[in-house]
Amino acid sequence: MSIAEDFLVQADDKAFDEKHRHTINYNIGKYDLAVAKGLSRFENLEASKRKAHVIKWRVMENLDKFLPEFEANFQRRGGKVIWANDAEEANREILNILRRKNAKTVIKSKSMTTEELHLNEFLEKNGVESLESDLGEYIVQLLGQPPYHIVTPAMHLSKEEIAALFHERFGTPLTATPEELTQKARELLRDKYLTADVGITGGNFLIADTGSIALTENEGNARLSTTFPKVHIAVVGIEKLIPSLADLDLFWPLLASHGTGQNLTVYNTVLSGPRQPGETDGPEEMYVVLLDNGRTNLLAQKDQRQGLYCIRCGACLNACPVYKNIGGHTYNTTYSGPIGSVITPHLKGMEEFKHLSYASSLCGKCSEVCPVKIDIHKMLLLNRRDAAQGHKNGKVEDFGWTLWKKSMQKRNLVDLVGGKIKNFVLRTFFKKKWSKYRELPEVAPKSFAAQWEAQQKTKTD
């Protein structure tokens, strides 16, 4: 079964799963209330979004200048930068660091870039224990699942399901409250921070003028993952750059308000290299892995490169009627929802993932809520265009559209085929795809033009 066929099967299953729909709508409903309150605190939200858009535009148009600036400033404070073209290279470089340090245990904070690498599975195969410390990530890791959502990895689970999981794994009561479950997770993870050989994080932003990475979180696990281990590795996509430390004054509130509805998330950290002389904590060595993994493919697309402006707030996922019905796992990608449908065909190949650009109602809600004003629904249309122009849709579909185009350009060709034949074609070739949950349209025996001509003839007679 192809990835596209599997998507249709899973989407069909999730769309009619009432329990799943109830959980997602409940969780996203709570998000909507919080975010509406958070956005109301902006004096001029539209101006803030426009400014963020312009800053990200400037970065993407000058990425060849900002990346070396970041590298030089980070190395000046003793950090080391590794450039990784793809997931395989990034994993290999990370493993080389771990082997040089004879590391056997890794503690991770939440990072979507490491999900791109499938880093946990890779390290496990190479004899390294890798543990997620974000509570949501920890829960889905226990279940052997990928994150369901960019911001909220366990959004698809109810508190009763999580309580049942902890009861099965750790013997906590089935009636345990969320606070009690969180306390249990804290007890389990606390020792891991103290004993882990290496801490691995992502990075919300790369700051060019100071050579720093900025992390924003609500649990403090990223701070613990970067403070106790002797080595810290940050895996960050090359598009996460912002020009100046002063720009965090704009981007941190935008990310927090659109992601969780907060003014700012609880913990906001700027790291500019390993521990310096006179400092009391921090790693002895710090590495930043600058990950491409298809991003330059998207950068080369002049019309669609604004997909790289994304700050991973998850707002478009929560606004999308398709995502709210089929869920995050159905997409079978690291980045799901509207923004995932925009960037994945460029990151992982148009051939296999072109179907995601069609998994949209094109209602435009995703573009409306984006904090950096990405025209997401327009990007989806451009992806569809590229798939068609690149003949990625298959010979049968190409032939069908060519035939349709020729017939629509000449009215007599449309009228040449009667309603009976058209209905036969619909029932034969479109029933499986279209009529599982809807009735196929019934084409009239005669076309409008033929009926009009007959009516006019009757009047003159």
**What is the residue extent of each domain of the chain?**
41-293, 395-460
- Amino acid 438: pLDDT: 81
What size, in residues, is the chain?
Answer: 461
Give the three-state DSSP class for 160: helix
H-type helices in 289-349, by residue range? 295-299, 315-319, 323-326, 337-348
With 80 as the cut, is the pLDDT of residue 418 above it? no
Residue 376 in this model has a pLDDT that exceeds 70: yes
The pLDDT score that the predictor gives to residue 401 is 81
Asked if pLDDT for residue 36 goes beyond 80, the answer is yes
Pick one of 3.30.9.40, 3.40.50.10420, 3.30.300.30, 3.40.190.150 as the CATH number of 41-293: 3.40.50.10420
Mean pLDDT of the region 285-304: 96
Confidence of residue 1 (pLDDT cuts 50, 70, 90): confident
Choose among 307, 20, 17, 34: nearest CA to 148.
20
Give the span between the Cα atoms of 28 and 158, in whole angstroms: 12
Confidence of residue 446 (pLDDT cuts 50, 70, 90): confident
Q: What is the pLDDT of residues 270-280, one digit of tens each?
A: 999 999 998 88
Q: Which residues pair with 236 in a beta bridge?
A: 290
Report residue 279 as tokens: 């400092």
Mean pLDDT of 335-341: 97
By DSSP bridging, strand 105-108 and strand 129-132 are: parallel
Q: In what order do the strands lie in the sheet with 267-271?
A: 241-242, 205-207, 212-217, 267-271
Residue 382: both structure tokens together? 């451009």
Instruction: Report pLDDT digits (tens) over 344-356.
Output: 999 999 999 999 9
- The C-alpha atoms of residue 384 and residue 37 are separated, in whole angstroms, by 36
- The Cα–Cα gap between 333 and 363 comes to 22
Q: What is the DSSP string of 16-70?
A: T-HHHHHHHHHHHHHHHHHHHHHHTT-SSHHHHHHHHHHHHHHHHHTHHHHHHHH
Mean pLDDT of the chain: 93
Which amino acid appears at position 386 of this protein?
D
Q: Which helix (H) or strand (E) holds 404?
A: helix 395-409
Q: Model pTM greater than 0.85?
A: yes
User: Based on the number of CB atoms within 10 Å of its own CB, is 239 exposed (0-12), middle (13-18) or buried (19 or more)?
Assistant: buried
What is the dihedral angle through the alpha carbons of 113, 360, 31, 271, rounded to the nearest 10 degrees?
20
Q: Which helix (H) or strand (E) holds 210?
A: none
pLDDT the model gives residue 245: 97
Asked whether 147 and 120 are in contact (CB, 8 A), the reply is no
Average pLDDT over residues 158-168: 95
Closest by Cα among 150, 157, 156, 200 to 334: 150
Which SS3 state, helix, strand or coil, does residue 236 take? strand
Going by pLDDT thresholds of 50, 70 and 90, the confidence category of residue 411 is confident
Q: With a cut of 80, say whether residue 212 has pLDDT above it.
A: yes
CA distances from residue 230 to 101, 197, 234, 277 in whole angstroms, order as listed? 10, 6, 13, 15
pLDDT in tens, 395-404: 887 888 888 8
Q: Could you give the 3-state DSSP secondary structure of residue 110?
A: coil
Q: Is 412 exposed, middle or buried (0-12, 13-18, 19+ CB in 10 A)?
A: exposed
> Are the beta carbons of 60 and 239 closer than 8 angstroms?
yes
pLDDT of residue 461: 66
Tokens of 184: 């249990």
Instruction: Please give the structure tokens belonging to residue 284.
Output: 């002895």
Instruction: Please tell me the least confidently modeled range out of 51-60, 102-111, 185-194, 328-337.
Output: 185-194
Q: Are 56 and 304 a contacting pair, CB within 8 Å?
A: no
The sign one gets for the Cα dihedral 413, 414, 415, 419 is: positive
The predicted model gives 233-255 an average pLDDT of 98
Q: Residue 34 pLDDT more than 90? A: yes
Distance CA 179, CA 168 (A): 18
Please check the confidence at residue 103 and state whether its pLDDT lies above 90: yes
b/e for 27-57, b at 16 or more Cβ within 10 A? bbeebeeebeebbeeeeeeeebbebbbebbe
Q: What is the mean pLDDT of residues 433-447?
A: 81
Q: Which residues partner with 241 through β-bridges?
A: 206
Q: What angle do CA 85, 88, 93 make, to 5 degrees?
A: 80
* Residue (of 289, 286, 290) closest to 101 by Cα position: 286
**223 touches 269 (CB < 8 A):** yes
Q: What is the pLDDT of residue 115?
A: 97
